[in-house]
């Protein structure tokens, strides 16, 4: 679930931190930059593990800060495929069951990966498993806050780096009377998570109503 990842970065130390030990100042800056951030194709960064190498520091013209190339290892949340984890149901929607592990919420169990036959209760906004017994079918609800076990089947990384403005419109000269203002962004556009886990449910909360 947690792995150590070797990384290299150039760390900027402002002049007012020159009185501190270099290792201490570098560690603080690295955690400010990376802790609780998703690195593309790496995972969710948790905290600095250790610093393996500090190269020479430089001060560039016009900037009083020092710049140091640092080799370090960082603790990263990145479960391997088929790993079994434990979490709690955060909420349900028609897209599936969303699960939280406390520190990480972008976990989805799609409908086809739930125990079958399953159906979505529109009134209560929960998924339920139509569990067959000798006495007939029973509806077992997957309620918010229930603890479940699940297996990681896939992961999705989305590059959320900012992009430049579209250039297609600028290639064509504006016609008389045509507005040159940039188009308004769609405020209803759904923001994508940078890192999402796709799961298969292994056990259900078994809440019968």
In contact, 1 and 77? CB cutoff 8 Å: yes
Structure tokens belonging to residue 81:
């495929």
pLDDT of 48: 93
Domain(s) of CATH 3.30.1490.120: residues in the chain: 2-77
Say yes or no to pLDDT of 208 above 50.
Answer: no
Out of 27-41, 167-181, 194-208, the most confident range is 27-41
pLDDT of 136: 65
Q: What superfamily would CATH give domain 81-158+192-208?
A: Nucleic acid-binding proteins (2.40.50.140)
pLDDT tier for residue 73 given thresholds of 50, 70 and 90: very high
Please indicate whether residue 73 or residue 180 has the higher confidence score (pLDDT): 73
User: Domain 2-77 carries which CATH code?
Assistant: 3.30.1490.120
Please indicate whether residue 170 or residue 42 has the higher confidence score (pLDDT): 42
Q: DSSP labels for 5-29?
A: EEEEEEEEE-GGGTTS-HHHHHHHH
Please state whether the predicted TM-score (pTM) of the whole model is above 0.75.
no
Say yes or no to pLDDT of 10 above 80.
Answer: yes
DSSP state of 170: G
pLDDT of 191: 66
Closest CA to 48 of 17, 78, 20, 26: 26
Say yes or no to pLDDT of 204 above 80.
Answer: no
Domain(s) of CATH 2.40.50.140: residues in the chain: 81-158+192-208
Structure tokens belonging to residue 128:
């339920």
């Amino acid at each position: 679930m947690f792995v150590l990842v070797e990384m290299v970065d150039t760390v900027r130390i402002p002049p007012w931190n020159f009185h501190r030990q270099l290792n201490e100042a570098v560690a603080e800056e690295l955690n400010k930059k990376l802790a609780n951030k998703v690195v593309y194709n790496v995972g969710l960064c948790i905290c600095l593990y250790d610093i393996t190498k500090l190269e020479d520091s430089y001060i560039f013209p016009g900037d009083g800060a020092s710049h140091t190339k640092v080799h370090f290892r960082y603790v990263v949340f990145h479960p391997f495929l088929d790993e079994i984890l434990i979490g709690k149901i955060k909420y349900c929607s028609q897209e599936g069951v969303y699960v939280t592990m406390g520190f990480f919420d972008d976990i989805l169990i799609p409908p086809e990966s739930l125990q079958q036959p399953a159906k979505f209760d529109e009134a209560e906004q929960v998924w339920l498993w139509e569990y067959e017994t000798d006495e007939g079918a029973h509806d077992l609800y997957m309620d918010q806050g229930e603890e479940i076990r699940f297996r990681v089947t896939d992961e999705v990384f989305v590059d959320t780096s900012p992009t430049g403005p579209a250039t297609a419109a600028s290639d064509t000269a504006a016609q008389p009377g045509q507005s040159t203002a940039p188009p308004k962004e769609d405020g209803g556009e759904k923001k994508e998570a940078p890192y999402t886990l796709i799961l298969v449910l292994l056990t259900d909360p078994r809440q019968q109503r």
